Structure 1
């Protein structure tokens, strides 16, 4: 049995997965107050999770709440369309599983059914992504505003707490002592620098990664300046 046929066969009662507009950052635990990883704090050594700081910032949380109202039409449209797509796909999956288990349908026919189901799934997900594109742009726009202020917030917090080396919690293998938890200090600086963020990006706005890729492509395509011919005397 091919990989495609297996994937459909295993997904009995398969329904199209909703392309939900989840926050760009996973929910993180609130940054702890000044603390250490254990033992005596090592002077000058700090630890911080930028993802946790961003996700707990006032600007980020306010935007997440406001987005549910501002983009309600897109959320509702996506949910309605997702329900309709599920209703279209489920009977096809049920038939496929029945045919496969019955053992009377040729493998070629099963492959054809599996291909049609997969095509509908992929097309449905792409459609939902198009519907929710404004939501994704809003998330990227808010995150970029926060990230633009994060570096200065980190520097300010490090300076105030005399931290010269800052590492991520994921990078810690072993510390003979403790590292100062700078999350709350960075968060305080970030909330001061950016109390709130603009939710709706301006017309034509593109995420930083897209802008950089576009600029790089333009640079590669730009013709080189012609060499200047020497002038005779």
Structure 2
């Protein structure tokens, strides 16, 4: 994402803390600093918010199925949890530790199995969200660069390194405006076989490693006829 040079951020904060001691040249240098909260900008972009609304319609069947299954699991677990709580507070609870542990393990298994089932049901929804976020993220660097150029900013840092900054240093709205221009909307349904960038990179690394091993295996194989 965006680079976060700690030294530059520290110098910027020191200058902001004591503006009276800054020379004119240093003041001009600080004026070229901007702060951007990239996740916040993405979440507030028109493309992201519109996709969130469209997804509720496009993937309504999966969302409704997951909601119903989640409620069913909660209904199944409610009496089991109540019984475990009651048994653990009973007078003979100390003598029934094995039974209490078994009840607890059963509840845990149902919860874990249910969570896995919900993830499988909502997998298309999660893939859609990843697809939208990647489309927007691909335009983020250009949006930051365009906003920085228009604002005469030469250094952009993230909010994690900043303890205080006056409003003029905040480039969120400027970057958001540029991002909305670059990508006013996003496709919410990924193409067939699409994978998030991280998974694509992992596959590429695995393929490269496999291809690198093939010549070595061929070199060590015995040659027939000799």
Q: Same fold (TM over 0.5)?
A: yes
Please show how residues 49-128 of structure 1 align to structure 2 within 5 Å: 49-105=37-93, 106-128=96-118
Q: Does the residue aligned with 2:186 lie in a helix, a strand or coil?
A: coil
Please show how residues 1-233 of structure 1 align to structure 2 within 5 Å: 42-105=30-93, 106-173=96-163, 180-222=169-211, 223-226=213-216
Structure with higher helix content: 2
Unaligned runs of 5+ in 1: 1-36, 228-233
Unaligned runs of 5+ in 2: 1-15, 20-26, 220-226
Rounded Cα–Cα distance in structure 1 between residues aligned with 2:39 and 2:130: 14
The 8 Å contact of residues 47 and 167 in structure 1, kept in 2 or not, is answered as yes
Name the residue aligned to 1:13. Answer: none
**1:22-45 superposed Cα distances (whole Å, 9 cap, x missing partner):** xxxxxxxxxxxxxxx998883211
Alpha-carbon distance change, 212 to 103 in structure 1, aligned in 2, over 3 angstroms: farther
Q: Does the residue aligned with 1:202 lie in a helix, a strand or coil?
A: coil
Structure 1 residue runs of 4+, over 6 Å off? Answer: 37-41
Q: How many residues align?
A: 190
The 8 Å contact of residues 47 and 179 in structure 1, kept in 2 or not, is answered as no
**1:203-227 superposed Cα distances (whole Å, 9 cap, x missing partner):** 1111111111122222223315356
